[in-house]
Copies of this chain bind each other. A is one copy, B any other.
Amino acid sequence: MRIFGGIESGGTKWDCAIGTGPDDVRTAATVPTTTPEETIGRVVDFFEREGPVDALGIGSFGPIDARVGSPTWGFVTTTPKPGWSNTDVGQEIQRRLGVPVAFDTDVNAAALGEHRWGAGCGLSSLWYVTVGTGIGGGAIVDGRLLHGLSHPEFGHLRVPHDRRADPFAGLCPFHGDCLEGLASGTALEARWGVPATELGDDAAWALEARYLALGFVAVVAVLSPERIVVGGGVGRRAGLLMLVRRELSALMNGYLGFELPDDYITAPALGARSGVLGAFALAATASAPM
């Protein structure tokens, strides 16, 4: 049996694990995100010390270049995160560990994890969205990860923004009031002056649910997945998904000719481990180093 390494790399920390699936995680570690050199160095140390692994999957924060064969495959590209713009992650780790590496977005890894072992088991399609510091989405279609021209950039969708009801301008450096600019954890904290975890105001959460539901209207309108799985720190807020389901149903207004199932919008069954476990499943698809 092949042993996989999994990495979910984020803007604040990198989760690393070695194993074969949710019931067989042999060792795990978390490395804080500092400079690329230091962070990647520590991650490589972990796998050299705890390995070997037969293949490695990386679910990365983005945007990234996941186009196999591209000269910048494995790079984090235009991220606003200081020091990380146009940074080689996948090629560097592949070179230093000398094992096949599969490189995809964090949300694609999580979508794969939830489809393989979690809330999407047995479904042919699902949409995974994380609502945390940022907002991102990934999809399974016909049982496989969706790839196209690039990868989905769900956070950068435009949604209706009533500036009288919500004068907050949005904080995406590229787009201002895109979905991420209005509804990410960062946006919540900037708008309300308290971290999302401490935000108690019902009206604030009703507005958040409204924006997420507007985003999910786009997911249903374009992709029509069988289920939407919502992860991330903000997504875990108690009661939020019920509000979002209600808003989505109101926004669809019966147009589909049937009601969306009660569990259409649901929490990840793997909790916060969807990404790093999904990275195991990614690793299984990795081809040998070039």
Contact = CB atoms under 8 A, between A and B. Distances in A.
A217 to B, nearest CB: 6
Interface residues of A, number: 52
A63 B152 contact: no
Interface stretch (A42-50, A109-117, A156-164, A192-200): A156-164
A65 B257 contact: yes
A35 interface: no
A222 interface: yes
Contacts of A249: none
A36 to B, nearest CB: 17
Nearest to A136: B221
A256 B79 CA distance: 10
A270 interface: no
A221 B255 contact: no
Interface in A129-169: 137, 139, 141-142, 144, 146-161
Nearest to A258: B150
Contacts of A175: 251, 253, 255
Given A150-B256, A160-B159, A253-B175, A222 B224 contact: no
A207 to B, nearest CB: 15
Interface of A: 63, 65, 77-78, 124-125, 127, 137, 139, 141-142, 144, 146-161, 174-175, 214, 217-227, 251-258, 260, 264
